[in-house]
Structure formats: structure tokens, C-alpha cells
Structure 1
Amino acid sequence: MRSRNHREAVIAGAATTPLGRLNTGSSLPLMAAAASDALSEAGLDWSKVDGLITCTSRTDGWSNPVEALAHYLSMQPSYLANIDLAGASGVAMVHHAVMAVEHGLAETVVVLGGQDLLTRTSGPRVVEQLAQNGPMHPEFEAGHEALLPTTYALITDMHMRRFGTTRQQLACIARDIRAHASLNPNAFKRELLTLEEILSSPVVSDPLHKLDCSVIADGAAAVVVTSSERASASHEVGILGVGYGTRHAWIGDAEDPTSCGAVESGVAAFRMAGLQPKDIDVLELYDCFTIAVLILLEDLGFCDKGEAGAMVAEQGIGPGSRLPVTTHGGLLSAGHPGVAGGLFHVVEGIHQLHGVAGERQVQGAKTALVHGIGGVMGTHATLLLGSGETHR
């Protein structure tokens, strides 16, 4: 992207910590570690950083997270911002960093997100927090003890009834994303899964089973956005397009729970980039539950409505497939550290385009689509990335 003053912003580096039970006592050291690694990849140091963007941490409870983070990092940035679109925050933070650089508010912005969700929050406490502050209507949903898996189970059941989607098709998503995670040394869960293991895992909220759901973890991710003049040409990744969409605040208000704002966000991003779904080499889709991946494939235009189940079962989305999806292992297997989880998808898209994804590298990847979801399929953000000359 390029602003009216002709300054171009590019992504110069990205990094994550491992995901799992990390026992750091705070999200701050996790984010600092991820930021240092991202700056190292970019060939920059903290003296060059004059912008800082972060998202909400549910475990730390700061009223102004970016202020606390700047203090911890001994920074006095000229540009700073808090962004909270829940799981869509990763895409939104990077987009805001690009705009800050393009409009001269900063020359190098570090985007940071992290949470020690597994270590510092017990299972019952997570449920309580989601009921009090989560994406469920306080009276009509949370007030009747509806939890996050319950809402996605309702969406899954409706998709099954309307389109004939099967449990086995959803299990193919969990299996293939776990196969990607098996190649990621930073992933929390790396053991390969069979369809039988997924289908026989305990029921969480029918028809969703345990392995259809995210794996809670500690972890942090960072992205460095800077001017093209300051970036190393060999590590440049540019934003080709971005789009947002929202259709409801609570799933009970959704006109059609089997479709979502990804339709609008995808159309906007593809229009800005001048691309179509067939031009995308790798997809990094927000995968809080298996049904989310299925619906995103349809609503972003990678297949017709109701056909994603057959597509994932027949051609797969795992390593070596025609369209690899969520190649770091995602929230389902690599780990879900809360609001920051979507930033890991952005980092993976960047690494695929840098060609540094190791065993999980998609050969020849030049374009990536990253998508984040906030709420219960409520808020959507789509980011199209291009490597090298692709974004020029």
C-alpha cells in the first residue's frame, strides 16, 4: 500500500514464541521475546522503533495495554495504539501499523500480541470470563448458560441440516490442520491425529467434539512494519488488500448463521488487490472451531456455498494439498492464546512468503490470505499479502 505522500509501508519481520504452558508469570516477557526476534529478522533494533500497537490481554487486565507494554520495553513511542477486534485484531493491528507508516506517524512500528492464557487462567475461570465479557448476549445467551462452544455448535448443526455437512468432513479439517502443526516446532500439539481419534473424542457441545475446538495456550507474536526504504528487500512483504465486514453482534441476531461478514471483507480485500481466490497460494484462516474454517472457505469464495465439506474431504487442506490452510497448525493445534491468536496467522502468512517456514513451507508461495474472526462469526478482517515484486 502507498499513501499520497508516496511513502510505502512493508512488513519487514515477524516472529512468535513457542505455544504451550510457558510459566512466564506475565504476558510481557512473552511479547518482548517475540518482538526482539521479529526485529532481528527485519535486521533492525529497538533504536529504530517509534511506533507500538498491541491488543487486549484478558489475563493481565490493564486498562491501557499499550502503555504498560511501552513501559516494560522502556519505550516512549511517537505513535501507539490499542486495537481490540477480538480474533480479528491481528489483521487490524497490522493494517493500522501500515497506515501509521504510510502517513508519517512513525517509520517503524512493532505490532505485538500475547497472553499466558493457559498458565494463569483455569478452565472454569475461562468459562466465567467468556460468560461475563465474551461474545454472547448477556441476557438472552450468557444468561441461559450458553458458552462459546454452544454457539458454534448451533452454527454447525444448522450447516449440517441445510447443506448435508458431516462430522467426518469437519474431522478432515482437524486432521489436516494437525498435520501442519506436526511440522511446526513452536506448536503446542504436534502428534498426528486420525479421523477415528477425532470422531471419538469427547463431545463438548453436540455436534462439536473436543478436537473440533481450540487448544488454549500461552504465547506471543510480533510483526515489524516499516518504510520500504528502511526494509531489507529480501524480506519485504507487502499488503495487497484489506477488508472488514460485520453482520451481527450476537449469534442470536444473525439473519443466517451459516454465512458471515467474510463475504464483505473478502470482496473488499480482493477488489483492493485486483486479485481473485484462484490467485492465492496459501490460506491462513482463523480456526477457533472446525466449522469456522468450513464457512470461511465458502464465504471467501474458494468454493460454492455448501460445498466446503466435500472439498476438504476430497482434496484436503493439509501439507502438499492444492490449497494449504492454516499452515502453522492454527488455534486447533498450535494453540490459542486469546485475543492475540489471530496475529499468529499473520506471522505464518509472512513466513510462508519469506520462504522461511521450514518443513511446512508451501513451495513457490507468492500470495497469502489471512483472515481473522471476532466474536461468534461476528466481525471479520481479511488481509492479502504479497512477496517481493508481487506487491510493487
Structure 2
Amino acid sequence: MQDIYIHGGAMTRFGKHPGVLAPELAQQAILKALDDAGVSRDEIQAVYCANVLGGMIVGQLIVRDLGLKGIPVYNVENACASGATGVHLARHALLAQQYDTVLVLGIEQLTALGGGTIPLQRNDHKTELYAKAGMVLPAVYAMRGTRFLHERGATPADLAAVAVKNRRHGALNEYAQQRSETTLEEVLASRMIADPLTLLQCCPSQVDGAAAVVLGTRRRGVRRAVKVLSSAVVSGLREEARDDILDAEITARAARQAYEQAGVSPGDVSVVELHDAFTIAELLYYEALGLARRGDAVSLLHSGATALGGRVPVNPSGGLLAKGHPLGATGVAQMVEILWQLQGRAGARQVEGASIGLTQCTGGGIAGVDHAASSVHLLGV
């Protein structure tokens, strides 16, 4: 199979950017990514723009002023998995030899929406009923958290320990929205959002950010070449009454596909960026990604294996809990972090000897399925 390379990547700081419009923020990331890749604007043959809530033709608005005239612009919306889906689609086009150099960007400006939770999709009768019952995403994850505490013999402190770890990592990341460490006591004492999830166990909802990567079919540059070893995107299955809400089936299915494509196993992974929108999610994804056996997620966390310096550091960027979660940008920003990790450019949060990295994004609260979409990518040197 044709090798697909990430030539370079960049992102803006995640946080509040008052007075900066979304296209301007995206352009900052694009220009830095092109410079990082050593690629001129004229070499870009297509643009994939991931965005969730910014309206129509966002990609065209962004590239209009960059001189990328007349090339195809694909606008991608797949909820929180939008950025990862953009990379997936770009890789397909490169494998099909439709292009040889493309740009993938993600952008979101959540501060423009005024805050609050993101509701489930509300364009069918079943989901409308869920939404009216208050089934916003914090409530969905709180149900999983409650079940996890009951079934696994875990405690609220076990959930809170995820936030402590990721905030410690985020304090080392100049691109993160939250750059202060926190204690277990502070996490547990923060305002209750949806029992057992307190405020510091939920990713920030007021955040803007952009990220971009340049992908291509030929090796270039002087840095270590980073390849996209595999890419999987799947959608959710209709749930049955007996389904286990702790199973994270959609992510486990995507992970199996990604591992099989790459010809690697979970034990080969050096570093992970996963979708920790809520603390319980990280624990569930340890198991879904094969990092821990069922029932061993809490033990893996407390062993220190998923912290910097451990066997397989998870979310060295700080994850969504510390870095922030500007929806369309998240999946691309995960790629940027893993690119930097594999090339030894992650500074104080560098995972020593990293050779294979994994990114995972789920997205889309929709009634009757685990999630609407999940994506897993494996990158390697």
C-alpha cells in the first residue's frame, strides 16, 4: 500500500480568542503548518476543513484569502470526530492517487455560542424525546460513570484521578487552555455538573482553536518521517436493551480495524491522545483500545502507566480536559501532538522513545446508539 506521510502540522493555542474571527484563527494554523511542512501554498491540491457549528462553506471562507484558488475544498462535519474524519478522507484520496499533497484543518469557535452544553442531535422523534428529558452529553457520561462505580467497585476519587493526571500534563503544554495543576481534593470539591462528574471532570465548553496538518504521498524534509499507518472511521450500531453502556463498542470496533490495518497490537503503542471529554471516558477507552483488560482500567491509571514517564502515556497534551475541546479542531490537534511526539518535538511533555502513536475521537450524541462516529488512527516512524 502507498505510504502516506504527515509532512508537518501546527495549531493555535486553545482558549478564548476575543476579537479574532474563526477564519483568521484557522489561517494562523494553516500558515504555520505549511511552514512546518516546508510546503508552499501552490503545492496544496485539496483542502479538507473540519468544523461542526460554524455554518456553511467555512473552508472556502478560510482559504479565500490564502491564495489557494480553485482547488477542491471539502467541508467535513462528523461531530467531535470531524477533524479525524477529515484526515481519514484525505488519506483515502491520497491512496487513490487523486492528489499527492493535501491540507487538513480543523476549526471551532465555541465562545461565539455563549456557552452551555451541546445537546444531542434533535432532528428525529426519538432523540427529541431524549433531549426534552435533559439527556445532554454530561448526563450521558454521568450515567456511564455511575454504572462504572457500581459495577467495577470504583470510587469517585478514581474518576477524579484522571483529571489530576491530565491537568498535570496540560501544565506543560503551551497550547493548552488550562495550564494549572489540580489536586484530587479540588477536583472532587468542584461544582457538581452531573453526579458523579464535577466541573473539573468535564472538558471546558468555552474554547476556540484551530489545527492543521499537511499530508502527502512522498517523503520530504529533514525530520523523522511520520506515516499514517492506519485510519478507521465507524458509526454506531443500534443499541438493544441488554447492551452494556460501559462497553464503548464503537471505539473498540474502530480500534480493531486500525490495529489490523497497521499490523500492530495495543502493546506496540508508545503514546495515546484520546477523547477524554469527561473523566469516565478515558477509563472506558483504556479498555476499548486494548490498553487494559476489562475491569483493569483503574489499576492501569493508578499504576502510573498512562502518565508521563509511564509505559504508555495517555493525553500528554493534557487531553480535552486540560487542552480544551474546540470540536472540529480536536481530531487534527491530536494528530499534531502525536506528530510532535514521534519527532521528539514535544518539549517538557516529550514521551521518550515514542515510535507509534494512537489518536481516538468519538462524536455525536444520538439516541439509540453508542455514538454517531468514532475514529482511530495509528501513526508511526
TM-score over 0.5 (shorter chain): yes
- 1:135 and 1:294, CA in 2 relative to 1: closer, same or farther beyond 3 A? farther
Q: How many residues matched?
A: 374
Paired-residue identity, %? 32
Which contiguous aligned blocks of 4+ residues in structure 1 show a shift greater than 4 angstroms?
131-137, 251-254
User: Separation in 2 of the partners of 1:356 and 1:210?
Assistant: 32
Distance apart, 1:92 and its partner CA: 1.9
Equivalence map 1:184-203=2 (5 Å): 184-203=173-192
Structure 1 residue 134, shift from structure 2 partner = 9.4
1:301 offset after TM fit, Å?
0.8
Determine if contact 2:121/2:364 at 8 Å carries over to the other structure.
no
Query: For the aligned residues, what is the CA RMSD?
Result: 2.2
TM-fit CA distance, 1:137: 4.9
- Matched to 2:245, the amino acid is P
Q: Equivalents in 1 of 2:175, 2:306: separation in Å?
A: 20
Q: Deviations over 1:36-85 (max 9, x none)?
A: 11111111121211110012241x322x3333333243323533322222
Matching residue of 1:88? 81
Equivalent of 2:23, from 24, 28, 34? 28
SS at match of 1:150: helix
Moved more, 151-160 or 376-385: 376-385
The residue type paired with residue 349 of structure 2 is R
Name the structure 2 match of 1:296: 285
Residues in 1 aligned to 2:125 and 2:339: alpha-carbon distance in whole angstroms: 32
Query: How many Å separate the matches in 1 of 2:125 and 2:278?
Result: 16
Deviation at 1:187, TM superposition (A): 0.9
| 1:380 corresponds to | 374
Q: Report the 3-state secondary structure (helix = DSSP H, G, I; strand = E; otherwise coil) of the residue aligned with 1:302.
A: coil
Partner of 2:247: 259
One-letter amino acid of the structure 1 residue matched with residue 147 of structure 2:
M
Query: What does 1:259-338 correspond to in 2, within 5 Å?
Result: 259-260=247-248, 261-338=250-327
Deviations 1:177-218, CA, capped at 9 Å, x for gaps: 111111101111111111111111111000111111001311
Of 6, 14, 24, 2:9 maps to 14
Cα pair distance change 1:190/1:11, threshold 3 Å: same
Structure 1 position 281, deviation (Å): 0.4
Amino acid in the other structure paired with 1:380: S
Aligned equivalents of 1:32 and 1:49: distance in 2? 14
C-alpha displacement of 1:91 = 2.1
SS at match of 1:138: helix
Counterpart code for 2:67: S
The aligned residue for residue 112 of structure 1 is 105
Q: How does 1:1-392 map to 2 (within 5 A)?
A: 1-2=1-2, 8-58=3-53, 60-62=54-56, 64-118=57-111, 120-123=112-115, 126-127=116-117, 130=119, 137-216=126-205, 217-229=207-219, 231-248=220-237, 255-260=243-248, 261-376=250-365, 377-378=370-371, 379-387=373-381
Once structures 1 and 2 are overlaid, which stretch shifts more, 78-87 or 45-54? 78-87
**TM-score between both structures, scaled by the size of structure 1:** 0.89
Q: Would you say the 8 A contact 2:119–2:135 is kept in 1?
A: no
CA shift for structure 1 position 156: 1.1
Cα distance in structure 1, aligned partners of 2:352 and 2:126: 44
For the residues of structure 2 that align with 1:342 and 1:24, how far apart are their CA atoms? 25
1:254 Cα deviation after fit:
8.3
Using the TM superposition, give the Cα deviation of residue 289 of structure 1 relative to its aligned residue in structure 2, in angstroms: 0.7
Deviation at 1:252, TM superposition (A): 8.9
Q: Distance in 1 between matches of 2:131 and 2:168?
A: 35
Q: Which secondary structure does the structure 2 equivalent of 1:151 belong to?
A: helix
Amino acid at match of 1:121: L
Q: Which runs of 5+ in 2 are unaligned?
A: none
**SS of the residue aligned with 2:215?**
strand
Contact 2:24 2:62 (C-alpha < 8 Å) held by counterparts: no
> How far, CA to CA, are the matches of 1:11 and 1:77 in structure 2?
23
Deviations 1:149-191 (A, max 9, x none): 1111011111222222221111111111111111101111111
Which letter maps to 1:226? G
Cα deviations across residues 94-120 of structure 1 (Å, max 9, x unaligned)?
1222222232322221101112212x1
* Counterparts in 2 of 1:222 and 1:170: CA distance versus 1, 3 Å: same
